Amino acid sequence: MAGSSIKLIRKDPLRLYMPLHGQMATDATIFSSEAIKLEPDAVSQLYDAACLPPAKKVLATADIHVGFGIPIGAVLGLEAAIMPAAVGYDINCGMRLLNTPFSKGDIDIDNIANSIARDVPLGEGKTNVTLDKTCIEAVINRGVASIPTLAKRTKHRAWEAFDPD
């Protein structure tokens, strides 16, 4: 494990870059705002994922957090495939952020959201947590650290085991 030797370079307000170093097979990018405090162990796991010989592209979303070997929120791209175990067994766990050239009003957002919900299989619980504007803003601005806000504002069984202490 790389520990404190991991280098992260802020490319812009929404991207961190982990340049190729040490035993890395490829570089890595984390899509995360400056306001999100990343878990050091998750960043170490991302480094480890980038060290896997078949890795061609390693990315992480704003909700990156410690997983089982490879961090949750990471995508490990191979030559012609995405490694399913690396993506995780909770695909569609709530991340739906995508930067596009569209502006508000250019597309029917409800239609796209309904299409995603219809066409992308949900995970074990088979339902999504409904988030209001405050919760969505908390996730965008604070990532995993927004969980206490979500637990307070939503009454979903996903938070039954949440212990804020």
Q: Closest Cα partner for 61 from 126, 27, 3, 14?
A: 14
- pLDDT at residue number 1: 44
For the chain, 165 residues long, give each residue's pLDDT as a single digit of tens. Answer: 444 589 999 999 999 999 999 999 999 999 998 888 899 999 999 999 999 988 999 999 888 888 878 888 888 888 877 775 565 655 555 554 556 788 878 888 788 777 766 666 555 556 667 788 888 888 878 877 888 888 888 877 667 766 666
Measured in whole angstroms, how far is the alpha carbon of residue 58 from the centre of its chain? Answer: 12
Q: How many CA atoms lie within 13 A of 161 on its CB side?
A: 1
Q: Rounded to two decimals, what is the model's pTM? A: 0.56
Q: Which residues contact 51 (CB under 8 A, 6 or more apart)?
A: 22, 23, 24, 25
Strand 15-18 relative to strand 28-31: parallel, antiparallel, unpaired?
Answer: antiparallel
* Residue 63 · residue 143 · CB < 8 Å: yes
φ and ψ of 24, to 5 deg? -65, 135
- pLDDT at residue number 136: 82
- pLDDT at residue number 22: 93
- pLDDT at residue number 2: 47
